[in-house]
A and B are shown apart, each in its own frame.
Chain A
Amino acid sequence: MNIKIRQAVLAHNDAEAAENARIFHDRGFRVVNVMASPGAGKTSLILCLIDHIPAGLTPLVIEGDCASSVDADRVSAAGVGVVQINTDGGCHLEAGMVRKAFIDLSGNGPGVVFIENIGNLICPVEYDLGEDMRLVVASVPEGDDKPLKYPYIFAAADVIVLNKIDLAEHVEFDIASFHAGVRAVNDHAQIFEVSCKSGDGLKPLTKWLFSTD
């Protein structure tokens, strides 16, 4: 006998994500899910964005990592409320983990929660965390073909930040073909070019990011 089911496999995660969204908004926070490959500059970018956050907005950070608390320590050293999730080798964050972490964070809105997802261009995209915005970081040393090789995460992005632009001339990165690649898989995401090292390009990004609420 055949039984039709037609139900989302990750229905449980989706329900928790919807609940997260309610909890975030009740406390006055907008939430940005930051996704990228390992070393692209997720932590660096989050710290730069927090540097530019308008007065009156409280930043909080949820750090996902397979192991260690190195990134959480960097954020904490900057005087920002942070909680670490160790996935113990797991390749992505799930909504339930994020909820537990958020409850451990003190501070009230209005503000912005940055979630640093696990460094991985494949798995995090399937798991809604209840975020308002998906920010994908690509970095120059990874090469300009990444949107074509990992189309799904770029397709899911609301905003794409090309980081380490200071290295472009050293590694023959073709910015125009990067843009064309993004546009082949995503016709709506905003694209910004920045260097977390020199600070170039951060102004337009922060202006856009913090004024969309």
Chain B
Amino acid sequence: MHEASIAHGILRGALAALPDGKKITRITIVAGAQVSVVLESLDLYFQELSRGSLAEGALLDLQQRAGKLVCKSCGQIHEHVRGTPVSMICKTCGGANRLDITNELFLESMEVEDLQDGGAK
């Protein structure tokens, strides 16, 4: 459900940054490991909300950052795969892991092209 509010935030931010005479074809979003977004659901809401706007039909490119498991003993870093339980034990030395994550969620960039004559207003 919260994908609806995130789609809204993406659309709002992208349209606000759009120069005159252009339309949006692709939007890149970066999400920290802490952020839970289901891309399929986000896409659906975005298509719905963007209909008739200069972002209609834009592709969403979601770059989700992985969490890092940092060993408190040997310092070795292993990737934490989203949706799997956090592994408390370091695979390298058997020491205790600490999960290192970030919670950013931002619009990184967008791809735009010239509006064709007669295009959406």
Taking Cβ atoms with an 8 Å cutoff, the residues of A that contact B are: 1-13, 89-92, 94, 122-123, 125-127, 145, 147-149, 151-152, 155-156, 180-181, 183-185, 187
Contacts and interface: CB of A to CB of B under 8 A. Distances in A.
A9 B10 contact: yes
A121 to B, nearest CB: 10
B12 interface: yes
B1 A123 contact: yes
A48 to B, nearest CB: 29
Interface of B: 1-2, 5-6, 9-10, 12-14, 17-19, 22, 29, 33-36, 67, 80, 85-88, 96-99, 101, 103-113
A155 B34 contact: yes
A90 B1 contact: yes
A187 B98 contact: yes
20 contacts: A2-B111, A3-B18, A3-B111, A5-B13, A5-B109, A6-B107, A7-B13, A7-B106, A8-B104, A8-B105, A9-B6, A10-B5, A92-B2, A125-B34, A126-B103, A151-B67, A152-B33, A155-B34, A181-B86, A184-B88
A8 B2 contact: no
A183 B111 CA distance: 42
Given A125-B34, A126-B2, A126-B103, 13 more contacts: A7-B107, A9-B6, A10-B6, A12-B9, A89-B1, A126-B35, A126-B105, A152-B33, A180-B96, A184-B86, A184-B98, A184-B99, A185-B101
B17 A5 contact: yes
